[in-house]
A = this chain, B = another copy of it.
């Protein structure tokens, strides 16, 4: 096999290599998946981009481009097989192979995620929880043991866990991330609103509720500002 690397192209040091699919498309795939599973449940076996787009509020071309990334092939005039589409998305996203994960921070949010059985359908199984609080150690939350944080790195290594979920308060998050990295964890799903400092090869995704909240409250505030102005104008 000959690998042709164009040396004039900068190698993007300090960044993850560019994904072969745009991030927004990737984020839309689960929505298609959900929608298609619903269709399948209704006994619908065939669909087109226009129909999907109509129901999800997207234009047909965008749907087509998104789905193409999964490698699916459609037929002019008839569209796509719903079953094939579902399969293609699941394979593409790696939802067929379960990722086992450790969760750190057994507070309200952590408990909620531990109890979220639906995740197992999407390739995620949280196998244990960790917490710094000795009062929580040894407890079971939604059938998962809560272990002391000190055991995380060792256990992660021995069980070859690749995914870590952080649901601690922001102050604790960096220390937890460090432990995870020590344990050989490859990817971190971070619910704490802090920028984690981790080695370059670690995949980090932030789930920042405050980002969404910001957008919502800005839009609400603007709406009321505007209506105030309208009143003044009258």
State the A residues within 8 Å of B (CB). Answer: 1, 16, 19, 21, 23, 26-31, 33-35, 55-57, 92-95, 97, 99, 107-109, 111-113, 115-116, 119, 122-124, 162-163, 170, 186-187, 189, 193-195, 203, 205, 207-223, 233
A215 contacts which chain B residues (CB < 8 A)?
A: 23, 26-27, 205
Query: What separation, in Å, do the CA atoms of A221 and B21 have in the docked complex?
Result: 14
A228 to B: closest C-beta gap in Å: 12
A170 to B: closest C-beta gap in Å: 7
A120 to B: closest C-beta gap in Å: 12
| Chain A, interface SS category | helix
* Docked-complex contact A31 and B193, CB < 8 angstroms: yes
A99 contacts which chain B residues (CB < 8 A)?
A: 217, 220
Residue from A56, A97, A123 with most neighbouring chain B CB atoms (10 Å): A123
Q: Which residue of B lies closest to A16 (CB)?
A: B219
A92-B218 contact given A193-B31, A193-B34, CB 8 Å threshold:
yes
